[in-house]
Structure 1
Amino acid sequence: MNQSILFGDDAQWNEETQAILFSAQQMGNLIQCRVTISWLESESGDVIINNADALRIFEEYRFDVEEQAEALIEDEEFNASGEIIIN
């Protein structure tokens, strides 16, 4: 992994977006990242029923999520709000 991108330990469930929110930092810039339930379900093969399931699967697949987020950051695939979305 690229050491210039650091990921925080701040994962949290967002009910409104039905996604896990977490942050990354690159050269001092804070980047908000989001991974959707559909991506987590696809990767894990599990069905996510509640926020506890989503957080558990996020932790199990954290390395994969961070790897995907890192690739999107390096490719500058930010949305209009400056966020990285994995879906």
Structure 2
Amino acid sequence: MNQDILFVDLQTWDSARQAVNFPAQQGGALINCWVSRVWLENKCGQTLVDESAVLNAFALCRFDLEDIAENLIEDEDFNQDGDIEIT
């Protein structure tokens, strides 16, 4: 695990994006990380019908998602807005 990348224990559902935001910090910079509802549904093998179900699925996958996001940050695989997206 890279000690330069820290994940705060915060996640929010964005219904317009149909994704969960979970921020990371690297060298003092805030990086918005996103995981899509579709990715979570595929990982969990079920349809996530509301915010509560999505956030519960996120909690179950959190460590995997942080590992994936960490690798994407290290590879500088940012989108046009400077965010990390797991879709």
User: TM-score category by the smaller chain?
Assistant: over 0.9
Question: 4+ runs of 1 displaced by more than 6 Å?
Answer: none
Partner of 1:19: 19
Q: Which residue does the alignment assign to 2:8?
A: 8
Question: Mind listing any 5+ residue stretches in structure 2 that lack a counterpart?
Answer: none
Residue pairs, 1:1-87, within 5 angstroms: 1-87=1-87
Opposite residue 66 of structure 2, the aligned amino acid is: E
Number of aligned residue pairs: give it: 87
Q: TM-score, normalised by structure 2?
A: 0.96
Q: Deviations over 1:15-54 (max 9, x none)?
A: 1100001100011111011100111111111211111100
Task: Report the TM-score when normalising by structure 1.
Answer: 0.96
Percent identity reads 47
Q: Which segments of 5 or more consecutive residues in structure 1 lack a partner in the other structure?
A: none
